Structure 1
């Protein structure tokens, strides 16, 4: 199932909800697809991660899901008995309607979990990665400035050109250029990872419990 098929099914299934609530849920699913695509996942993989649309619709509608199915059946088959729609199949899970207090509690628990995850694991790792990048940037800048420092040394200290020192400074200059190119590439990658992680935090805080 691709993105269009998934979203069309969710729009159709969530039609009994209030317009604002339906729009919020659809926006959450759209954000899942956007974030997954930015991480290189396919639309099919993202749809599988989100879960079966029917299960998601059941969760969102609660009792209204079964009432909606009953009304559809009555429109199609007027003479068929509708008692089977008022009972859950044996062994199948029930989907109670989520109350406002339950949603608030769920969001509080997710927020608490994210705080501990960020403080104990994510933020220290990100800080370490960025510190390593700063070190690389420092090495690059030092290497690039090496010839200039050598020339200053020749002018004000040595009073002559020292070929070995000049050669070494040029070597460090080349290394500084290469390290700088790598540091720029790495900065873009780390920046995307950092932005993606904080966007994932926002998505987790907004999404409904499965």
Structure 2
């Protein structure tokens, strides 16, 4: 593969990045070619030593998305980072996706339980308006107790969610470095 074809494929694979970031990356690889040519290597030898432009792009995009998730931990950034890391190696589908889905399910269900407990007095008051029963005060006091429990659950889930996001981003960074290190040793 020639230098121009390598750089063209790399540029195409890096489309999700801004044009400025792509230009910086392409400039770095231009320098690799310049240095290699000065050392007497052919373009094909340089391309072989660099590896596949698609794999390089996957690694760079994974780094980029993990940095985005670190800088601003939004759901969209975390999902992009997750998919970028999964794209690095098939092994990560089992390692990253399974625990991520389980953890997300636990966190979402705990938030839902906390919210339901927190809103239980409103439901009891609504029931009292529609159906008056002799157990209104008992139901109201129990719903207030559940409201308090729901408040503490939601406070706890706020902390757990922040820790889970930080831990998950760190885990994604670890996976990126693991895959990158494994690929470098294989070359």
- Tell which structure's C-alpha radius of gyration is larger: 1
Residue 199 of structure 1: how far off its partner (Å) = 3.4
Contact 2:89 2:179 in 1 (8 A): no
Determine the C-alpha separation between the residues in 1 that align with 2:93 and 2:46: 30
Q: Does 1:209 align with 2:156?
A: no
C-alpha separation between the residues in 1 aligned to 2:174 and 2:50? 19
User: Deviation of residue 114 (structure 1)?
Assistant: 4.1
Query: Who is 2:115 aligned against?
Result: 141
Supply the distance in 1 between the matched residues of 2:168 and 2:87 (Cα, whole angstroms). 19
Equivalent position to 1:130, from 95, 104, 128: 104
Secondary structure at 2:90 match in 1: helix
Q: Structure 1 residues 200, 104: closer, same or farther in 2, change over 3 A? A: same
Q: Point out where structure 2 has 5 or more consecutive residues left out of the alignment.
A: 1-26, 33-38, 40-44, 60-85
Q: Per-residue deviation at 1:162?
A: 1.2
After superposition, where does 1:131-210 map in structure 2 within 5 Å?
A: 131-158=105-132, 162-203=136-177, 209=184
1:101 to 44, 48, 65: 48
- Match of 1:209, SS state, is helix
Distance (Å, rounded) in 1 between the aligned partners of 2:179 and 2:93: 16
Cα distance per residue 1:90-128 (max 9 Å; x no partner): xxxxxxxx95414416x9599799422321121110110
Whether the 8 Å contact between 1:150 and 1:166 is mirrored in structure 2 is yes
Structure 1 spans left out of the alignment, 5+ residues: 1-18, 25-63, 65-97
Q: Which has the higher helix share?
A: 2
Specify the SS of the correspondent of 1:158. Answer: coil
- RMSD of the alignment, in Å? 3.8
